[in-house]
Each structure stands twice: as C-alpha cells, then as structure tokens.
Amino acid sequence: MLNLLANRKEFWGLVADPAILWPAFESADAPALDSFLVQTSLPGVPRRVDFNAARGNYEARIFDEATLPVRRGSLHDLFNLLAWTTFPASKRAINRIHNEAMRTEVAGKRGSRRDFLTLLDEAGVIVLVEDAKSAGRLVSRIREIRGGPQDSYAGAVRDLLRSSNARIIVFGHALFESLVLRPQTLAKVGAFAVILQNSEDADHRLAVFLDDQSENLHPSMFPSIRSDIVFELAGNGLRKSGV
C-alpha cells in the first residue's frame, strides 16, 4: 500500500502525504492520528479518532464529541481524515448541516440536503471560475455536453474547463480512494462538481457557500464530471489551507 500511496502528484495539496499516516491506520495507532488532527486550529473539527467506528451515529459523534470514527486499515477513512485537515472549514460546515437536517427529517428518510452533502463529501470537486455569472454558464454548458454525443464528451469538457480558466480542487475522499485502488474505473465515476466564484482559499469559499445555502442544498444544483478528467486537470492545483 505504501508504494501505491508514495510520490503521487495528485496528493501534493493535501496537508500530508497519505503514505506518512498509513502505518497508523494499519496498526490502529490512535495517538499518532490524534496528534495530527490537533494541528488544525479551527473549532468544530475532530480532535481525536476512535477505532470503534461502529459506536453511535457517525455525524453526531463528530459534532457532539469532536471524535472522528475510523477503521483500522481503511484507505477510505485515511483520506477522510486528510480531508478534515486540508478542508476543515468545509468539512465542519458539512457536519453541522448534516446534524441540523437529522433533527428535522422523518426517521429513516433522508432529505435532499443530506444527499447533496454526501455527494460533495464523498465525490466532490471544487471548481472555481472568475465570477458568479461564469459559474452559472459553466454549469449549463457541462449539462449540455453531458446530453450530447458521448464520443466527444471528454474533449469538450476538457476544452471548456481550460477555456474557462477553471481551478479544480479534488475534495471528496472517495475519489482519492478510487484513484489509488480502482484507477481503471475513473472514467466511469462521476465527480460532483460544485462550481463557484473564484477565491484564493478554496476551503473558505466552499464553507461560505454551504453556510449561505444550507437550507436550499439539492443535488440538482450542480453537474458531475468524469473523475479521470478531474484528476487530469487538477494535477497539483490543490492547495494547503486551514492549518
């Protein structure tokens, strides 16, 4: 696994190389992971991990106990921890809105807000463009391309994102897991593209959007983009923030 994780340009913007933390997940070394989490100064971010991941409600434990449930040897949970440390403001907003929504939902029935948050959390990418009008046009144009001939889809999306000077930041931890374990499937996996007006700090920009739109979030707000194209164009465009 360390060979799969080492020296990947796609990880350059994360606050640590995943290979550094992987041994702690293999050995269930909670103190090592706790020491990494507490480097993030924002309140509302988990301060410790708990390898008893099955205990209690996942989102509630983060919100109420500042505890991040993880599983030993889980690459998925490794990238989730790295997401918390790279994008703490956005992850905190996601967790807060999940908990707000759970208090108002009918038992056993998820609403559209939580569906949006799950798509973003697992498979989201942040796409930043010049201004709000450009963001709206990009959403519409990607949807048009998706509805057109599939043999021209990849080239058209690449050209559109490049001509829009889009800055692409991979956010969803499941996307990183797929990149490592199932790279051959990326062309079949859709990344949920949250397209926003540009900001130097992508984490802050996404968090502000989530806070402002917390009552209105719906999966239909944004389109998806093939994950292989996302990783191709994102490259080392990720940036460290929040530590």
pLDDT in tens, 173-189: 999 999 999 999 999 99
> CA distances (Å), 30 to each of 6, 25, 44, 97, in order?
22, 8, 19, 27
Q: Say how far apart CA 5 and CA 87 lie, in whole Å.
A: 20
Residue 108 has a pLDDT of 66
pLDDT in tens, 121-150: 999 999 999 999 999 999 999 999 998 898
Residue 235 has a pLDDT of 53
Residue 177 has a pLDDT of 97
| Band of residue 210 on the pLDDT scale cut at 50, 70, 90 | very high
Residue 153 has a pLDDT of 94
| Band of residue 103 on the pLDDT scale cut at 50, 70, 90 | confident
Residue 240 has a pLDDT of 40
Instruction: Answer whether residue 48 shows pLDDT above 70.
Output: yes
In degrees, to the nearest 5, what angle opens at C-alpha 154 toward C-alphas 151 and 159? 125
| Band of residue 110 on the pLDDT scale cut at 50, 70, 90 | confident
Nearest to 233 by CA among 178, 153, 156, 168: 168
Please enumerate in sequence order all residues whose Cβ is within 8 A of that of 219, keeping only pairs 6 or more positions apart, or say none.
112, 115, 116, 119, 192
Tell me the percentage of the chain whose pLDDT exceeds 70: 95
Residue 236 has a pLDDT of 38
pLDDT in tens, 59-88: 999 999 999 999 999 999 999 999 999 999
Q: Say how far apart CA 101 and CA 113 lie, in whole Å.
A: 7
| Band of residue 55 on the pLDDT scale cut at 50, 70, 90 | confident
pLDDT in tens, 143-177: 999 988 988 999 999 999 999 999 999 999 999 99
